[in-house]
Amino acid sequence: MKPELDVRKLRHDFPALETRVHGKPLIYLDNASTSQKPRAVLEAMDPYYTAGSANVHRSVHELGEVATRSYEGARVKVQRFLHARDAREIIFARGTTEAINLVAQSYVKRLLRPGDEILITALEHHSNIVPWQMLREETGATLRVAAMSDQGELLLQRYQGLLGPRTKLVSLTHASNALGSVNPIREMVEHAHARGIPVLVDGAQAVPHLAMDVQELDCDFYAFSGHKVFGPTGIGVLYGKSSLLESMPPYQGGGDMIRSVRFETTVYADAPQKFEAGTPNIAGAIGLGSAVDYLSALDRAAIGRHEEELLLHATEALSALPGLRILGQAGKKVSIVSFLLEGTPPHDLAVLLDQEGIAIRAGHLCAQPVLERLGVEAAARASFAFYNTHEEVDALAAGLRDVIKALR
């Protein structure tokens, strides 16, 4: 008998879950947007500000040495968390968005000629669409899109058919933020690599739910955001294979990314430092290191089982409600349920549920092409983390049931 996750105990680690909203206990179901933070993360960042702040890689005084050790120690923690080969393959960025833009500007842009192609999928977040559109306008390249089914699953044969001699990069989401669909990343990477095409993976929605091994996936780049994985905002990670990072020019210029500067010329530092210009988010990196430590100490298999049960419970409970349509029924999903309720705009629905202390997302979900593919402009979304409970799923269903009754 496999042990169950002690959700009740874990909830005590998250102060925000004790909040009351409109006089009701908070039921937080917007984890795909951002997650709540455990005390361990908050306490890890506190000493950097209270015991004395200092910059990294610059000062020889004690505060500077402590800050540098903490910052670089966080890089090692992330390396182990992702099972990267070397800590130098871990670049700190502001989040997934900046990480994707870094690859676009530093790696892909110099490869593109008019008519060359970048391949994405129909499941992408705006952050994995807009940077490539910007490059398309700059270079004359073409943006191609691998189709998805009505169930929200990638059509793998269609994807394979789009891989060609002019494809310079495949950039795809690991898990859809709108539908929860999980792409077959390993297989997609294999197909791309068979044609010599590098692959960037947007892991923002996958990392909080799935144990990660970038060496096993064999992707060339992998990006995720700290705030979705129980860490602070304003910090994220780009993993890149060392051979690629060393070949790439800096994304931004400034302090701390150089070996030497003269008016005539500048010699850049090696990766990862050459991609981290200026004073970084030191406390954010420390907090992210604590977040991956916290998550790594948990039973990831038990987390997976619990979240699968929450997803199944929510899917069954919401499907039973009259006039409710669930968007996306992929065979493999992370714990995200997007839906429509007949007669109630998603924004209105979110406002009504908020009055009961239930926090969900409503709108285009930063994934307008996904929703348009399914024939809608906006949706409501409930997204679950390991600290959510079956009782909270029941409360969501009850809240929706009350809305339906009020409409009759």
Residue 366 appears among annotated catalytic residues = yes
Give the rounded distance of the alpha carbon of 232 from its chain centre.
13
Structure tokens at 379: 């949706």
Map tokens 């409409």 to a residue.
407
Map tokens 């406002």 to a residue.
351
Number of C-beta neighbours around residue 60 at 10 A: 7
Q: Which residues contact 63 (CB under 8 A, 6 or more apart)?
A: 52, 53, 54
Q: E-strand spans in 272-369? A: 324-327, 336-341, 358-359, 361-363
Helices 282-297, 39-50: axis angle to 10 degrees equals 150
- Residue 252's Cβ-count burial label (10 Å; 0-12, 13-18, 19+) is middle
Helices 390-407, 300-319: axis angle to 10 degrees equals 20
Q: Please state, in angstroms and rounded to a whole number, the distance separating the CA atoms of residues 42 and 318.
A: 35
Structure tokens at 256: 């701390």
Q: Please state, in angstroms and rounded to a whole number, the distance separating the CA atoms of residues 170 and 408.
A: 48
Q: Which residues contact 165 (CB under 8 A, 6 or more apart)?
A: 195
The C-alpha torsion from 330 through 333 and 335 to 338, rounded to 10°, is -30
Q: Please state, in angstroms and rounded to a whole number, the distance separating the CA atoms of residues 238 and 164.
A: 26
Number of C-beta neighbours around residue 94 at 10 A: 18
Among candidates 285, 297, 206, which has minimal Cα distance to 13? Answer: 297
Q: Which of 63, 66, 258, 366 is catalytic?
A: 366
Q: Which residues are catalytic?
A: 366
